[in-house]
Structure 1
Amino acid sequence: MNLRLMLEDLEELVSCESFSADHEAVARSARVVADQGLRRLGTRPETIVIDGVTHLRWTFGTPRVLLVGHHDTVWPIGTLAEHPWSLVDGIARGPGVFDMKAGLVQAFHALAALPSPEGVCLLVTGDEEVGSPSSRALIEESARGCAAAFVLEAGADGGALKTARKGTSNYAVTVHGRAAHAGLEPERGANAGIELAHQILALGAIALSADDGAAPDGLGPTTVTPTVLSGGTTTNTVPALASVEVDVRVPTLAAQARVDEMVRALAPRTPGTRLEVSGGPNRPPLEQASSARLFELACRIAKDLGMEPPRGVAVGGASDGNFTAGIGCPTLDGLGAVGGGAHAAHEHVVVEEMPGRTRLLTGLIASVLGGEPPAGAVATEAAVTGEAAAGRTSPAAGSSATAGESPGEAGR
């Protein structure tokens, strides 16, 4: 692997800002990524624009291996002026260098090192950092029928591969009350703020009931975290509306389903108020079973290459690998850069690790294309689609749960 060329490519990608919320910037970044892929792979990608977001896909023959990456970053336009590209003492810095532009460079060079990329699909999305709302279906479509998916997200501490990830769910709980003058006739109101306080306490108790015991794979327990709060209009008005957004992280599909059931069963306690729950599961967990055989393969290949075998770790954050595993495609994550500081000012990449990581990825791709049989993962798509899919509102508008009704009555 030619480290000089890899660093030139990395500087090119980092120097093109690609803040997820700026679709024009993401489109410019996609053109830079596409040109780089043309230089390294000899062909242009398919450019796919969904809801204004630009994604890229290279497909060589009938894919058996899927490589997944993203070119958007969390960094607002102008960050490059404050934290410019730099390479000092073997450390590369700049917005998105670690998460995950170095991973894209490694993917291009890994594919270029193969005798032929026939049988590989490389998908580079433009909205991973905001939850992949426009690219999820594209990721799942690309993964179907593949024997393995390799995710170019950065490695964990020390370059450890990510063998399990928590699943995610997102909810908004809205309380509808009744306004009244807080001084003259507060008793005529139905205080949505007080009811929201009851619901926040109820949400905090859900996590304790969702797990059936110790979480597998070192992922830690289910967490249900109320985050953004809003409510009220003026200081002398009983609040007629209040809401809270909720972040949920789950180690298993079973826990994700239980949390969903319990959140939708929330019932109001304050007379005159009603609840509206929207949202739902976003990403299913990437469970250990999906990555086990591929991780074993990575350890064997590293040994053959004279490299230290990688460690495997479970992490709480989610990635697009959750989607590939969720439809039953064996998935190994964290094959990108070695470094640290994702989403922080000290984001960096240890550049001497890039050639070795690239050789490991090349070996993984070649082995699967050569017939290494990863164990099939159990398809779990049903757990996060259909009625439980993100964006569902429960109860339906106009028939929300109201204090004094049972959850069953309110849901009819």
Structure 2
Amino acid sequence: MDSIRQFMEDHLQEIIEDIKFLVECDSPSLNKKLMDECGERIQELLYRYFGKRAEVLEEEKFGNHLKFEYGERDETILILSHFDTVWEPGDLEFKIEGDRAYGPGILDMKGGLVQAIWAIIAIKELKIPFSKKIVFLFTSDEEVSSPTSRYVIEEIAKDCDYALVTEPPVVRTGALKTERKGSARYYIDITGKAAHAGNNHHEGVSAIQEAAKAIDFLESLTDYEVGTTVNVGFVKGGGKLNVVADHAEIGIDVRAGTSEEQERIDEIIHGLTPFTEGTSLDVRGGVSRPPMERNQDTKDLFQTAKEAAKEEGIKLKEASVGGGSDGNLTASMGVPTLDGLGTIGDGIHARNEHIIISSIPERAAFFSNLLIGIGTNDGEA
């Protein structure tokens, strides 16, 4: 067993305790108080292992973001981890059953966050030569599409040479994510004309009927062969049953594999005109994350990751997925990006969210090897 893997095995219980320390601090995206309390726990870990705290990037409505630096070289590796979760306080609790550790955000992505910290600790404690600077960014609003952190990420990423994202890998295969669809969200307000449904039905113009026509058209834009999905996931409208509805609202989620396709769908939705005479449409929203497209830089970085994984006996795979992450932002800026470097587990956004404890030493050692491989070989195969 190599020294890094042995280091992780020797410190596994401490790693689990650190994960527990963060998971037991609930951190729903929209609760600034709890988010900042969780951020303070991250600060405690950083100070414990590195003797210094992260720079606090203050936010008014969301939790503060944290920026931590390790190393002094010119070229820079950006590590992205978010510590907000989809869970409200008390929804889930930390527990261990056999080889599984459960808890809110343990897989998505506090486990991966801690695992990445320990990957750096191993390099530090084992005094392994390392020729890059690491900028570790902990963000507080990824689960709500990064409304404030995206600008922080983009500002920092423009000076970085690589980006590594500690989201979970693909379930069951452990594959890294080298390609992600872009995402967009829209809301359409529909206005009609109210009338008495019994006495003057002919004088009304139903906003609900217009919504139905719009929904049918929007859903027809889905093209599985191209990789585009358009999903109307929210509908409301009307009120009393004896009144022709004069208002309706629909919400749409769009996923697309390329920037060109994302822009095409965006133009169609923003260019919608009423299907029913006497109604009007007001479209809000737009692109939230561009696609993370696989290019030659991605391929080269993944090859470095394959070599790093081979040292731990991992036959590393890659995958294209529909969900988005902050890796979409860095990749769209031309920064070579790998995603899915977090903990192995299952149940993202589900009540059975968990990580596999026995996989942590292997994956943490792999992350260390990847940092070292980038640091010594400039990311080339």
Q: Answer yes or no: is 1:126 the counterpart of 2:140.
A: yes
Structure 2 counterpart of 1:26, one-letter code = M
**Alignment partner of 1:332 out of 313, 332, 338:** 338
Q: Answer yes or no: is 1:177 the counterpart of 2:192.
A: yes
Q: CA shift at 1:371, angstroms?
A: 4.3
In structure 2, what is the Cα distance between the partners aligned to 1:343 and 1:328?
30
1:198-222 CA deviation, whole Å, 9 max, x = no partner? 11111012224xx8xx44xxxxx20
In structure 2, what is the Cα distance between the partners aligned to 1:38 and 1:354?
22
| % identical equivalent positions | 38
In structure 2, what is the Cα distance between the partners aligned to 1:374 and 1:319?
25
**Alignment partner of 1:68 out of 80, 101, 116:** 80
In structure 2, what is the Cα distance between the partners aligned to 1:111 and 1:11?
19
Gaps of 5+ in 1: 216-220, 376-412
State how 1:8-19 maps to structure 2 within 5 Å: 8-19=17-28
Q: Answer yes or no: is 1:294 the counterpart of 2:309.
A: no
Note if contact 1:63-1:121 (Cα within 8 Å) is conserved in structure 2: no
TM-score by length of 1: 0.84
Query: What is the SS of the residue equivalent to 1:43?
Result: coil
Q: Answer yes or no: is 1:57 the counterpart of 2:67.
A: yes
Q: CA shift at 1:294, angstroms?
A: 1.4
Note if contact 1:172-1:245 (Cα within 8 Å) is conserved in structure 2: yes
Paired position in structure 1 for 2:4: none
Q: CA shift at 1:140, angstroms?
A: 1.1
Note if contact 2:188-2:250 (Cα within 8 Å) is conserved in structure 1: yes
Paired position in structure 2 for 1:136: 150
Q: CA shift at 1:7, angstroms?
A: 1.0
Q: Answer yes or no: is 1:315 the counterpart of 2:321.
A: yes
Q: CA shift at 1:29, angstroms?
A: 0.6
Structure 2 counterpart of 1:31, one-letter code = E
Structure 1 counterpart of 2:167, one-letter code = E
Structure 2 counterpart of 1:76, one-letter code = E
In structure 2, what is the Cα distance between the partners aligned to 1:207 and 1:50?
37
Query: What is the SS of the residue equivalent to 1:13?
Result: helix
Note if contact 1:20-1:127 (Cα within 8 Å) is conserved in structure 2: yes
Query: What is the SS of the residue equivalent to 1:314?
Result: strand
Provide the aligned C-alpha RMSD in A: 1.8
The change in CA–CA distance for 1:284 and 1:148 in structure 2 (over 3 A counts) is: same
Query: What is the SS of the residue equivalent to 1:181?
Result: coil
The change in CA–CA distance for 1:78 and 1:63 in structure 2 (over 3 A counts) is: farther
Structure 1 counterpart of 2:218, one-letter code = L
State how 1:74-113 maps to structure 2 within 5 Å: 74-79=86-91, 83-113=92-122
Structure 1 counterpart of 2:215, one-letter code = I
In structure 2, what is the Cα distance between the partners aligned to 1:331 and 1:199?
37
1:178-237 CA deviation, whole Å, 9 max, x = no partner? 2222222223222211111111111012224xx8xx44xxxxx20001111011132222
Note if contact 1:70-1:125 (Cα within 8 Å) is conserved in structure 2: yes
Paired position in structure 2 for 1:264: 270
In structure 1, what is the Cα distance between the partners aligned to 2:103 and 2:372?
32
Q: Answer yes or no: is 1:349 the counterpart of 2:355.
A: yes
In structure 2, what is the Cα distance between the partners aligned to 1:282 and 1:11?
32
Structure 1 counterpart of 2:327, one-letter code = G
Paired position in structure 1 for 2:5: none
Q: CA shift at 1:42, angstroms?
A: 2.1
Note if contact 1:147-1:368 (Cα within 8 Å) is conserved in structure 2: no
Q: Answer yes or no: is 1:47 the counterpart of 2:61.
A: no
In structure 1, what is the Cα distance between the partners aligned to 2:49 and 2:33?
25
**Alignment partner of 2:287 out of 281, 289, 292:** 281
Note if contact 1:156-1:162 (Cα within 8 Å) is conserved in structure 2: yes
Structure 2 counterpart of 1:258, one-letter code = R
**Alignment partner of 2:210 out of 170, 179, 195:** 195
Moved more, 362-371 or 347-356: 362-371
In structure 2, what is the Cα distance between the partners aligned to 1:93 and 1:188?
58
Query: What is the SS of the residue equivalent to 2:118?
Result: helix
Query: What is the SS of the residue equivalent to 2:47?
Result: helix
Paired position in structure 2 for 1:218: none
Gaps of 5+ in 2: 1-7
TM-score by length of 2: 0.90
In structure 2, what is the Cα distance between the partners aligned to 1:135 and 1:360?
27
In structure 2, what is the Cα distance between the partners aligned to 1:271 and 1:338?
54
In structure 2, what is the Cα distance between the partners aligned to 1:284 and 1:374?
26
Q: CA shift at 1:63, angstroms?
A: 5.7
Moved more, 242-251 or 285-294: 285-294
Query: What is the SS of the residue equivalent to 2:342?
Result: coil
Query: What is the SS of the residue equivalent to 2:300?
Result: helix
Q: CA shift at 1:154, angstroms?
A: 0.9
In structure 2, what is the Cα distance between the partners aligned to 1:281 and 1:179?
33
